[in-house]
Amino acid sequence: MSDERLLSERNPLPTAIPERLRAQLNFLVEVDKLKTVLRQSPLAAVERRENDAEHCWHLAMMVPVLAEYSDEPIDVGRTIQLVVVHDLIEIYAGDTPLYDAEAGHDQEARERAAADRLFPLLPADQAEHFRALWDEFEQRRTPEARFAKAMDRLQPFLLNWMARGGTWQAPGVTVDDVRRRKSVIGDASSSLWSAAREMIDEGVRRGWMRPSA
C-alpha cells in the first residue's frame, strides 16, 4: 500500500522540540497519507472518487446533524472522535470496498496489522487511547460506536443516490446485498433505516439497483 518510510523522515523536525511532542507531530504528518487512500464512492459535487480523509470529515459533519435520530442517547463529541479515527488504519491496510467479498476475506487481519504499526507511533498512553477508540468502533458495543457505524454506511449510500447508482451497480451486486449491508443503520436508528429503505425501494423502481437475484 505505501512505502515503509515515515513521511516525517523526509524532513525531520528540529530536535530542540521535546521528544513527546515530536512523536505526536510526526504521527500527525504521517496521517496526511489518509488523503491519498481512494474509496469507491463518487463525490456528489464533482466527478471523481472520494478519499478517506474527505469521507471521515463528512461523517464528522453527519454525526451532530443526525444525532437526534439515534435510538439510544449518544455523546456527540465522543461519536465524532470515533468517526474521525475509524479509517486511519487504511493508511497501511488500504480501503476494502463494501461489496468486494474477496478483499473482505483477510480484511480483519490486514487492518489489525496496520493498527499495530500505526498507533505505536504515538506516545504509549495515546497509542492505547486511539487504539481503544478504533476497537470500540469496530466492535460496535457502545451506542456511540453503533451510531458511528450507521453514519459510515449512510454516507456512501447518500453519494450513491446522488450518482443514481454508483457502487450499487458494481458487478453482481443486487438490492439484497445493499439491504443486507445497509441494515447496520437500523442497529442505531430506526428512523434513518426507514428513510434508507425508502431510498432503496425508489432506487430499484428507477433501475439504479438490480432487483433480487
| Residues of this chain that bind its own copies (CB under 8 A) | 7-8, 10-11, 13-14, 16-18, 21, 24-25, 27-29, 31-36, 43-46, 50-51, 53-54, 56-58, 60-62, 64-66, 69, 75-78, 80-81, 84-85, 122, 126, 129-130, 158-159, 161-162, 164, 191-192, 195, 198-199, 202
Q: Which is nearer to its own copies, 11 or 172 (CB)?
A: 11
Q: What minimum distance in Å lies between the beta carbon of 210 and its own copies?
A: 19
Q: How far lies 29's CA from each of 7, 19, 154, 165, in Å?
A: 7, 15, 29, 35
Name the phi and psi angles at 79, rounded to 5.
-65, -40
Task: Give CA angle at 174 (172, 179), nearest 5°.
Answer: 135
Q: Which is nearer to its own copies, 76 or 173 (CB)?
A: 76
Q: What minimum distance in Å lies between the beta carbon of 55 and its own copies?
A: 9
Q: What minimum distance in Å lies between the beta carbon of 82 and its own copies?
A: 11
The beta strands (E) that lie in 90-197 are given as none
Q: Which residue has the cell 487504511?
A: 90
Contact 7, 33 (CB under 8 A): yes
Q: Which is nearer to its own copies, 54 or 100 (CB)?
A: 54
Q: Which is nearer to its own copies, 14 or 171 (CB)?
A: 14
Q: What minimum distance in Å lies between the beta carbon of 205 and its own copies?
A: 10
Q: What minimum distance in Å lies between the beta carbon of 171 and its own copies?
A: 23
Neighbours of 20 (CB within 10 A): 12
End-to-end CA distance of the chain: 35
